[in-house]
Amino acid sequence: MTSQPTPASQPTPSRPDRTAGAIETVFRMESPRIIAGVTRVVRDVGIAEELAQDALVAALEQWPRDGVPDNPGAWLMTTARHRAVDLVRRRENYARKLAEIGRTLPEAAAPPEEPADPDDIDDDLLRLVFTACHPVLSTEARTALTLRLLGGLTTAEIARAFLVPEPTVAQRIVRAKRTLATKNVAFEMPYGPDREARLGSVLDVIYLIFNEGYAATAGDDWLRPSLCEDALRLARVLTALMPKEPEVHGLTALLELQASRTAARTGPSGEPVLLRDQNRSRWNRMLIARGFAALGRAEATSGGAPGPYLLQAAIAACHAHAYSYEETDWSRIATLYGLLAARSPSPVVELNRAVAVSMAKGPAEALALVDALAGDPALRDYHLLPSVRGDLLARLGRAPEARAEFERAASLTRNERERELLLRRAAEQP
């Protein structure tokens, strides 16, 4: 900084110019791109991650001594890729030697030309996204690997976010990398008929991460905002990488709009505040505006055939447009849930449609829809079914039945905060 500092604010001394902390910051920012770029060379995300770490170690040794390169990200990338190319060459030499004695190893990819083109890096990043969310992996492995490789979270951070022991997460990640290697999962973008399903899998992983933060399935916190933010960042990255995909814009719009309510969703002591009771002046207008913009892009690219994320974003937009719960366009929401049910039928969608119908047409009509779901095995232990049913019964003046439903819902939820809320509602019944 060359401006004249006032005596009150001296420039922060930093000798050498970048501390180890600042180098690690640069590395964390660049690591998804580095891992992606290196995976293209070595075809193995585990090895790529190790080579990226090696580049960090090299930076920690060299930068404080020789000064910081003008483009630290490019330095890390080039260093990691050089090591990758060396490794591939060593492998090839080894394979040649084996061949001389009559044994073979799988063909290694030819090392790419230097330096990396930014567009190539974007493509590599997308390949990494599709690899981390590959269907050969379990859902748990996909979320852990995505947060690790693309979200830049440490194993400890992932473990904290999902309330599981750190060794469990570490194991999951190791096994996931091994599965990708043993199943010879190609480091490529899916084309052809399974592309849509593969993209759907990526979007589902991001949505799952968001939801775990938005309505934690277990534990004492109602909300874990950091997970929501990690998911939202992944969605924003994907939007920039795949600007022609309506469902990517749809997912981003949905998450921006849902995240806009974060501040209003908890009360002073961390208790959940339901949509109808939220102070809407606390909804974040910037996120709402971003959500609307993303929804517009989703609609513009969808060619009039809205996918499930676009439809859910359109529903979230109905809430965002309303200044109060009563002013919400419930009949439009019910219509959108109808479209969603036709496009990807599920009992949970049907349950949400019932809630919208109860607001648009009254609780009696909605109760018929909910009762039709009562026997669905998928909802047998889903706490929101008795919770919604209890709400409808309470509105119909059937207090004893409502109380029983709220108590049943409380016994089913694994979230402490939600249990308290449901028991309170049970106790409120006259």
Partner 1 sequence: MPRFLTLIRIDEKNAPAEGPSPELMERMGKLLEEITKAGVMLDTAGLTPTSDGSRVTWEGGQLSVTDGPFTESKEVIGGYSISQCKDKAEAIEWAKRFLSLHEDYWTITAEVRQITED
| Residues contributing to the site for partner 1 (CB under 8 A) | 1-4, 21-22, 25-26, 28-29, 70, 118, 122, 152, 226, 229-230, 232-237, 240-241, 263, 282, 286, 290
Nearer residue to partner 1 within complex by CB, 138 or 226: 226
Q: Over the range 115-126, which residues count as b (16 or more CB within 10 Å of their CB) and which as e?
A: ebeeeebbbbbb
SS3 content of the chain, % helix, strand, coil (to 5): 70, 0, 30
Query: Which phi and psi angles does 244 have, rounded to 5°?
Result: -95, 0
DSSP string, 392-407: HHHHTT-HHHHHHHHH
Nearer residue to partner 1 within complex by CB, 11 or 303: 11
* Least distance to partner 1, CB of residue 36, Å: 12
Between CA 358 and CA 274 the distance in angstroms is 16
* Least distance to partner 1, CB of residue 189, Å: 16
Nearer residue to partner 1 within complex by CB, 84 or 287: 287
Nearer residue to partner 1 within complex by CB, 31 or 79: 31
Nearer residue to partner 1 within complex by CB, 63 or 382: 63
Between CA 112 and CA 132 the distance in angstroms is 22
Nearer residue to partner 1 within complex by CB, 74 or 427: 74
Nearer residue to partner 1 within complex by CB, 157 or 391: 157
Nearer residue to partner 1 within complex by CB, 236 or 419: 236
Between CA 325 and CA 13 the distance in angstroms is 53
Single out the residue of 209, 76, 69 nearest to residue 133, CA to CA: 209
Between CA 50 and CA 87 the distance in angstroms is 12
* Least distance to partner 1, CB of residue 267, Å: 12
Tokens of 223: 């909300």
* Least distance to partner 1, CB of residue 229, Å: 4
Pure H helices in 329-362: 330-343, 347-361
Between CA 262 and CA 248 the distance in angstroms is 22
Nearer residue to partner 1 within complex by CB, 2 or 182: 2
Query: Which phi and psi angles does 274 have, rounded to 5°?
Result: -70, 160
Reduced to 3 states, what is the DSSP secondary structure of residue 193?
A: helix
* Least distance to partner 1, CB of residue 148, Å: 14
* Least distance to partner 1, CB of residue 240, Å: 4
Single out the residue of 87, 85, 105, 109 nearest to residue 96, CA to CA: 105
Query: Which phi and psi angles does 71 have, rounded to 5°?
Result: -120, 85
Nearer residue to partner 1 within complex by CB, 59 or 356: 59
E strand or H helix at 175: helix 166-182
54 vs 57, 61, 65, 76, 369, CA distance in Å?
5, 11, 17, 9, 59
Cis amide prior to 16 (ω within 30 degrees): yes
* Least distance to partner 1, CB of residue 106, Å: 33
Reduced to 3 states, what is the DSSP secondary structure of residue 222?
A: coil
CB atoms within 10 A of CB 427: 10
* Least distance to partner 1, CB of residue 319, Å: 20
Nearer residue to partner 1 within complex by CB, 70 or 107: 70
